[in-house]
Amino acid sequence: MSSRRPVYFNPAAATARCAEPQTASLKAFHQSLPRYKPTRLTSLPELAAQIGVRAVFVKDESDRFGLPAFKVLGASWGCYRAIVAHLGQSPTISLDELAERLKGTPLTLVAATDGNHGRAVAFMARLLGLGARIYVPQAMDETTRGLIAREGANIIVVRSGYDQAVQEAADAVKAMDGGLLVQDTAFAGYEEVPSWIVEGYSTMMAEVEEQLTEKGLKCSVMVSPVGVGSLAHAVAKYCKSRDSPATMVAVEPDTAACLHSSLTIGKSVSVDSSSTIMDGMNCGTVSATAWPDLQRFVDSCVTVSCQETHGAIQYLATQSVAAGPCGAASLAALRRLAATSETSFLGSDAVVVLLSTEGPRPYPTPLDVTVEDSVGLTQVLTTVNSSNPSLSVTDGIGEDQIVDYLAGWFAHRGIEHHRIETVPGRPSIVGVMRGTGEGRSLMFNGHVDTVSLSSYEKDALAGSLGERDGRQVVLGRGSLDMKGGLAAALASLASVKASGNLPRGDIIVTAVSDEEDASQGTRDVLAAGWRADAAVIPEPTMETLMTTHKGFIWVEIDILGVAAHGSDPANGKDAILLAGWFLRALEQYQRSLPVDDTLGAASLHCGLIQGGEEPSSYPAKCTVTVEFRTVTVQTEESILSDLNSMLEDIVQENSQFRYAAPRITMARPTQKLPTDHPFVEMVGACETTVFGRRSTPSAAAFWCDAALLSREGIPSVVYGPKGHGLHGKEEWVEVESLQKLQLVFEKLIREFCG
């Protein structure tokens, strides 16, 4: 079985019917627009032969009235009808007459868009001599914004997604004098204009029918992209109003499957969409007017990945069809349907029409979200730069790109996921595969940030296979620390889902930001309320089960002097020299630090010392930063108390010694889970089954986020793969270790979650 989201089928749609839309005046209207001509219908005989159908055609909308998309068909009719209604004119008035009536009218057309609808509205505004204000999501690229602006529109960038852009556009019109909303999304109280936009797309259907009739053919299957659902609504009504009804197939991005989710649940729902190259389809809510008909008339709904769409674009280019991502999505859907055994409507007599709704445009080459083995996933994740921007003087890029990839990976499989981003540019993501109920939940917590790439000797983002010390490895920064461990957890999740035998309990994967510095990601995840009955942190422990590690506390101490010229020793007091008293006392104190039976001796060191302005002056302050590596008996309060007592003792010995109260700048708890804890025993048993041996639970030398989880009452162990080069000039993780780790995690899911 596959782990990916299933294709939706609605057998009842085969017999559903609707009345033929009354759009007699539409063709005449579109013919009156400058540069009207029917768009091409291109045959793909090679593809038809591969699939085993009679014919496959592409309706190529890469040039419609000089614009690179079909949207202008609906937007032009919607603008025309909305303006006519606004002016109280008859819908028989010509465009020239309408333009004349509009002269001197302070009317502005307003719309929200992911790209082509807004550009089409701006096109109509320019044609009629009107202003246009277009609201766009922040994620829209500068190229697309520029194309809309070139039509004369005023661009308003919304700090959120498409749905928020629609809301802000609607709100703006209410506050404007002379604003007219022309939106292809229907919502409560706003249904008429979207219905006119849907009508406008009927011209495309009429052209298809005429072009096929000339060839002696009739369409039996039509595949349409879905954004908010306006075009899909027009296609569905066309398919079910003909004398010979056609099968209607809808396609959406994996990451914006609002129609698929609604059809599956049986009611209209909104979804959180995420990054996709299919920008015009990146919508989280189906249009309210479209939903009832789509629920009745859609025979099948397919979701596709960016990678599948990218491949479809490349194929269409070889067939002289210039398509953008939204346009090529139809071909990606057909390919998927052809590979699905449940598809009955792609028989040898089928005539398939793919609606290619936009022409080519630039987009980033997508990564493959279909990968789900631990080694392949490690390779993909390693190629993504996710270096921590707050870790060093070398600027890192942050976690945005890798979290976008993981959102696509989860969405491809229909796995619930939630992006958490309390600090801009530092997102984490939580993926949740829900169990069947009444089982224990298991969390895998892995960080997606890495240390700087600048210290890497060769290609830090290679993600390639190689050989080191006679073993096959994955090379690249973060392959070991800790994208390999995270990949093993994701692969085990996919494997369990693909089996079709879900456990009773939930499996949660938290892919978090900033662990290499301040653990912002895990703190955000916990603050958002995510909990589990136990957790595994797959840090690179070299296949050794670790149940404990020290905590750490950073303390700053200011030793105070008196600033004066270097030639004035009578008034100057040297804070740096006085700091020597503190350092000597600290060295003595170090010898009395406590010892833990598992963690060993606590330790401290002076990580930073800063003081003085220039050589010719007495320094007024010297700041010493001390890092304590702590065991369980040490607390923030106990360490501050010890330091204050030490400093007071120095004052008693040296009356010139002055200081400011010590302050803690960062503190992280210790991690200690008893070695006989039932969860430790279960992980050890799973390890024994896969490896044929059991590692002795031990203490980790490093700190990790396990301590934050344990502090919240989540029993946590640290267990991850073998490799070499953590934070070093070359880093790798062993392939065999990843593969075995995946098996351990799969068994643990079965055993623990039930």
- pLDDT digits 0-9 by tens, 539-557: 999 999 999 999 999 999 9
CB atoms within 10 A of CB 87: 14
Angle, helix 116-127 to helix 71-87, in steps of 10 degrees: 50
How far from the centroid of its chain's Cα atoms is residue 246's Cα? 36
181 strand-pairing partners = 110
Q: Which residues of 378-402 are buried (b: 16+ CB within 10 A; e: fewer)?
A: bbbbbbbbbbbbbbeeeebbbbbbb
* Residue 407, CA distances (Å) to 254, 416, 431, 605 in order: 9, 9, 8, 41
Percent of the chain with pLDDT over 90: 90
Q: How high is the pLDDT of residue 393?
A: 56
511 strand-pairing partners = 429, 446
Q: Residue 662 — very low, low, confident or very high, per pLDDT cuts 50/70/90?
A: very high
Give me the sign of the Cα torsion angle 274, 276, 279, 280: negative
How far from the centroid of its chain's Cα atoms is residue 304's Cα? 15
φ, ψ (nearest 5 deg) of residue 444: -110, 120
573 strand-pairing partners = 562
pLDDT score of 159 more than 70: yes
For residues 390 and 562, the model is more confident at: 562
Q: Residue 1 — very low, low, confident or very high, per pLDDT cuts 50/70/90?
A: low
Burial class (CB in 10 A: 0-12, 13-18, 19+), 340: middle
Q: How high is the pLDDT of residue 141?
A: 86
For 537, the 3-state DSSP assignment is strand
Angle, helix 24-31 to helix 71-87, in steps of 10 degrees: 100
Non-local (6+) Cβ contacts of 551 within 8 A are: 629, 630, 631, 634, 667, 668, 669, 670, 671, 703, 707
Report whether 449 contacts 522 (CB < 8 A): no
In angstroms, the CA 562 to CA 266 distance is 75
φ, ψ (nearest 5 deg) of residue 296: -80, -40
Nearest to 199 by CA among 90, 80, 93, 111: 80
Q: List the alpha helices (DSSP H) in 459-503.
A: 484-499
The alpha-carbon radius of gyration of the chain (Å, integer) is 32
Nearest to 699 by CA among 679, 670, 676: 670
In angstroms, the CA 25 to CA 22 distance is 9
Non-local (6+) Cβ contacts of 690 within 8 A are: 740, 743, 744, 747
Stretch 686-698: mean pLDDT: 96
Report whether 16 contacts 305 (CB < 8 A): no
Instruction: Report cis status (omega within 30 of 0) of the bond before 682.
Output: no
Q: How high is the pLDDT of residue 23?
A: 67
Q: How high is the pLDDT of residue 341?
A: 84
Report whether 254 contacts 308 (CB < 8 A): no
pLDDT score of 22 more than 80: no
CA angle, 228 then 234 then 236, to 5°? 95
Report whether 378 contacts 738 (CB < 8 A): yes
Report whether 80 contacts 33 (CB < 8 A): no
Q: How high is the pLDDT of residue 21?
A: 74
Q: Which amino acid is at 15?
A: T
In angstroms, the CA 115 to CA 359 distance is 12
Report whether 356 contacts 328 (CB < 8 A): yes
Average pLDDT, the chain: 95
pLDDT score of 636 more than 60: yes
Q: Which of 276-280, 399-403, 486-490, 736-740 has the lowest mean pLDDT?
A: 276-280
Q: How high is the pLDDT of residue 2?
A: 80
Burial class (CB in 10 A: 0-12, 13-18, 19+), 338: middle
Stretch 209-228: mean pLDDT: 96
φ, ψ (nearest 5 deg) of residue 519: 55, 35
Q: List the alpha helices (DSSP H) in 63-151.
A: 71-87, 95-102, 116-127, 142-150
Helix (DSSP H) and strand (DSSP E) numbers for the chain: 23, 33
In angstroms, the CA 6 to CA 336 distance is 10
Q: Which amino acid is at 609?
A: I
In angstroms, the CA 116 to CA 138 distance is 16
Q: How high is the pLDDT of residue 161?
A: 87
For 513, the 3-state DSSP assignment is coil
Q: Which amino acid is at 581?
A: W
CA angle, 62 then 66 then 67, to 5°? 55
Q: Hunting for tokens 């707050």 — which residue is that?
A: 390
pTM of the predicted model as reported, rounded to 2 decimal places: 0.89
pLDDT digits (tens, 9 = 90+) for 242-267: 989 999 999 999 999 999 999 999 99
CB atoms within 10 A of CB 438: 8
Nearest to 537 by CA among 387, 415, 717: 717
* Torsion angle of C-alpha atoms 177, 178, 183, 185, degrees rounded to 10: 40
pLDDT digits (tens, 9 = 90+) for 94-125: 999 999 999 988 899 999 998 899 999 999 99
pLDDT digits (tens, 9 = 90+) for 463-497: 999 999 999 999 999 999 999 999 999 999 999 99
List the structure tokens of 508: 């949660």
Domains, the chain:
42-63+205-356 (3.40.50.1100), 374-549+675-753 (3.40.630.10), 551-669 (3.30.70.360)
pLDDT digits (tens, 9 = 90+) for 280-328: 899 999 999 999 999 999 999 999 999 999 999 999 999 999 999 999 9
Q: How high is the pLDDT of residue 88?
A: 92
Q: How high is the pLDDT of residue 392?
A: 62
In angstroms, the CA 51 to CA 344 distance is 12
Q: Which amino acid is at 587?
A: E
CB atoms within 10 A of CB 426: 24
